Structure 1
Amino acid sequence: MTQQHTIIRLGHQGDGIADGPIYVPRTLPGEVVSGTLNGQVLADIRVETPSDQRVKVPCRHYKACGGCQLQHAADEFVADWKVEVVRNALAAQGLDAPMRPIHTSPEYSRRRATIAVRRTKKGTLAGFHGRASDTITEIPDCHLLHPSLTRAIPVAEALALLGGSRKGVLAVTLTLSEGGLDVAVKGGKPLDGPLEMALAQATEHHGLARLSWDDEVIAMRTPPVQHFGPVGVVPPPGAFLQATKDGEQALLRAITEATQGAKRIVDLFAGCGTFSLPLAQSAEVHAVEGEAEMTKAMDQGWRKAQGLKQVTTEARDLFRRPLMPDELKKFDAAVLDPPRAGAEAQVAELAQARRLVIAYVSCNPVTFARDAKILVNAGYTLEWVQVVDQFRWSSHTELAARFTLNPKL
């Protein structure tokens, strides 16, 4: 039975929410919609009264593809909504902070994407999964990906023909690098001699910089270098990398400003040196990261660079073994860039160590707000928050923030 509902607000996943609550994908506050209720989700949606913030979607794949959730909304609306998501997360913890204007990465700027590829009777099907679905949608005109990534999708298809299973889906991560296309494959057939030889030949044929198969490097024609500040680094296969270079630079500007004047910085959850290496232009840095291969890549990059201050590295699980106050007190400032779970254990030790400046990068406003509450309760001031939207048209929100401690407290 068709029902009519009015959208009250957007949820954290970008869905419209009506009284109930009832979740209505790809709608906007104030819209009157009709459809068939399936549990708490409205299906077969028809927008009866559209919002003045509704726009014509730019991408022809939007209806079927699950890569974007908010292309139907005006850019200004999305920007305001993402800032409000952060503001509401802070308010839930009883916090507030000055919010800087959001920085949004442009279209066609994603430098990394994981393509789903399935072998079919006629060949292959490659693209992104549909919304909450195993269905794969082809994306030849994707508005997110850098054009070089879109042109590389046939490489993912070719690899699926060589080593994909008809029963499963191959996950092919394509990353742009200065050496060319860096490709990491998961979910393929087990390696044997003939497959390894075929994959090595494919690396040459397609001019790939590097090809890895379930974390094993098959071939590397040229190092897939990523530059962090003045330093070239060859990350291990599949290592974390900010989604866009534009977004990375926006976060780096915020972190550089937040730590300005510090002589010794500890970078926690440092990855391959996204922030550590640029910060080493003006400060000594101790970089701590859970994956030893990442710290090794960072160290190798630093040793080949010129004119940087000392960068030391440490492989350490900061969830199980956070740095303790006596270890932290040798630094003027701390940088954190944890995964979505946040850094609750490490933040508790930072609060006790009472460092004067903490720069925090987060990809989850909720866990950021939780961690911010720990610091504020310990006497820190949340000076400002900079929202960075490098996952354009998605519900994903990132930010950088600066905490300071009054030395007289």
Structure 2
Amino acid sequence: MSVETVTIERLGLHGDGVAPGPYGPVHVPFTLPGETVSIAVNKTEGTVMSQRDFSPARQTPPCRHFGPEGKNGTCGGCNLQHANDETYHAFKRSIVVDALKSKALPLHVEPLVIARPGERRRAVLTVRRLEKELLLGYSQAGSHHIVNIEECPIASPGIVRRLATIRTVASSMAVNADPFRVVVLETLSGLDLAFEGIKGLSDRQRRMAIETVLTLPGIARLSLNGEIFVEPQKPMLDFGGTLLCPPAGGFTQATRQAEDAMTGLVLTHLKKCKRVADLFSGSGTFALRLARQSRVHAVEGEERALKALDAATRGVPGLKPITTEKRDLFRRPLMASELKVFDGVVFDPPRAGAEMQAKEIAKSGIKRVAAVSCNPMTMVRDLRILFDAGYTIASVTPIDQFLWSPHVEAVALLQK
């Protein structure tokens, strides 16, 4: 390990400052372009020892838990609270621009759809019982240490004001000192608490957790590893005017604002399509809204998600038919011959992307395609497949859903 004085040149893909080092680029957390810092260098990682110049783009972090100077640790939930809005928004958009450049694709990149504090309706917290206290928060950057949070500016007010309630429930679920997780989802009817990673919960502790929830206001459901313990009220979400009860611990978009932005783009692009395939459909984020204007075939590998979608459609007036199919689209993508009955398709895969499915869409000749992604690098790989097959990219819109993090969503609209 050596100590070097360097000047930060740019922000890297993960939000760290990047500077030239003795053996190549060095990544320095919590720094900004133009700043001169003395760092302890360990291979490609640098730790700030002292700082001489500060960027005019630097701001005071809004959360007491952020950064090396955090009150009780460096919370790993955010990377970029120290960057002002202009710098941060430009960085987020540049991730998508650079990804498109890497595949020599047209740069039809729209302005970033921004995220604001207090919008996160879904948060994943880590819990650990110690001898004298219960830790509830986010893991410190680069370690397993849990930062015990007292506030969280990215989370919705409905989650923040119930942190004490979440602690009480988590305490009743803690078996030993092993860490575990709780996925907190704010719904129309209260918090949905989905615990994961707890082993050896006794019947007595199960009863105690249920009794605890029943004495607390504002908890809609308690589950462990997908098993529902108690459900005082069904946790409900509004998908474009259709109410849906998501599976316990199932995937949900982290903010309603980002979800609305994504679905708005997709619905407008596929407005004139009569039959739409919704691939990697989940519980129906797009399908339930698309069914207001088109017949929809929703394909998803998770059976619980499809059951939730099917239950949501019952008795809802104004919906066109929605059919569902349980299918692993990574192993068995919808083939070009199967896709030919559709005139529009939307696909929203996990971070691995949808390479095999994109190849089948490319061969199908479907006129309008909406590609939704949480990983710009796999998105551009899939877009290149469609582009090479004769699709034009009408637009790519970056969407910030995970505030002050390096993660960015994108919606690409294509036509043939």
Separation in structure 2 between the aligned mates of residue 190 and residue 180 of structure 1, nearest angstrom: 28
Separation in structure 1 between the aligned mates of residue 40 and residue 115 of structure 2, nearest angstrom: 36
Aligned length: 405
* Runs of at least 4 residues off by over 6 Å: none
Aligned CA distance change for structure 1 residues 45 and 302 (closer, same or farther; 3 Å) = farther
Equivalent residues of 2:28, 2:48 under 8 A apart: no
TM-score normalized by the length of structure 2: 0.95
Equivalent residues of 1:119, 1:160 under 8 A apart: no
Equivalent position of 1:90 in the other structure:
100
Unmatched segments (≥5 aa) in structure 2: 68-73
Match among 178, 186, 208 for residue 176 of structure 1: 186
Aligned CA distance change for structure 1 residues 45 and 395 (closer, same or farther; 3 Å) = farther
Separation in structure 1 between the aligned mates of residue 114 and residue 326 of structure 2, nearest angstrom: 33
Once the two structures are TM-superposed, the CA of residue 123 in structure 1 deviates from its matched residue by 2.6
Larger mean Cα displacement after TM superposition, 29-38 or 288-297: 29-38
SS in 2 for 1:304: coil
Letter in 2 for 1:249: D
Match among 18, 22, 26 for residue 30 of structure 2: 26
Letter in 2 for 1:280: A
Measured on the aligned residues, the alpha-carbon RMSD in Å equals 1.3
Once the two structures are TM-superposed, the CA of residue 23 in structure 1 deviates from its matched residue by 0.8
SS in 1 for 2:112: strand
Equivalent residues of 1:225, 1:233 under 8 A apart: yes
**1:79-228 equivalences in 2 (<5 Å):** 79-207=89-217, 208-228=219-239
Separation in structure 1 between the aligned mates of residue 159 and residue 395 of structure 2, nearest angstrom: 35
Letter in 2 for 1:59: C
**1:278-289 equivalences in 2 (<5 Å):** 278-289=289-300
SS in 2 for 1:273: coil
Unmatched segments (≥5 aa) in structure 1: none
Equivalent position of 2:347 in the other structure:
336
Larger mean Cα displacement after TM superposition, 29-38 or 274-283: 29-38
Letter in 1 for 2:132: K
SS in 1 for 2:178: coil
Letter in 1 for 2:209: L
Equivalent residues of 2:173, 2:206 under 8 A apart: no
Whether 1:57 and 2:68 are equivalent positions in the alignment is: no
Equivalent residues of 1:65, 1:130 under 8 A apart: yes
Equivalent residues of 2:175, 2:200 under 8 A apart: no
Letter in 2 for 1:211: L
Larger mean Cα displacement after TM superposition, 28-37 or 258-267: 28-37
Deviation per CA, 1:158-197: give whole Å up to 9, x if none: 2333231333112011111112110100122434321221
Letter in 2 for 1:14: G
SS in 2 for 1:99: coil
Deviation per CA, 1:346-389: give whole Å up to 9, x if none: 00100000100100110000000100110011111111011110
Larger mean Cα displacement after TM superposition, 194-203 or 296-305: 194-203
Letter in 2 for 1:57: P
Equivalent position of 2:71 in the other structure:
none
Whether 1:346 and 2:357 are equivalent positions in the alignment is: yes
Letter in 2 for 1:2: V
Whether 1:35 and 2:39 are equivalent positions in the alignment is: yes
Aligned CA distance change for structure 1 residues 315 and 92 (closer, same or farther; 3 Å) = same
Letter in 1 for 2:3: T
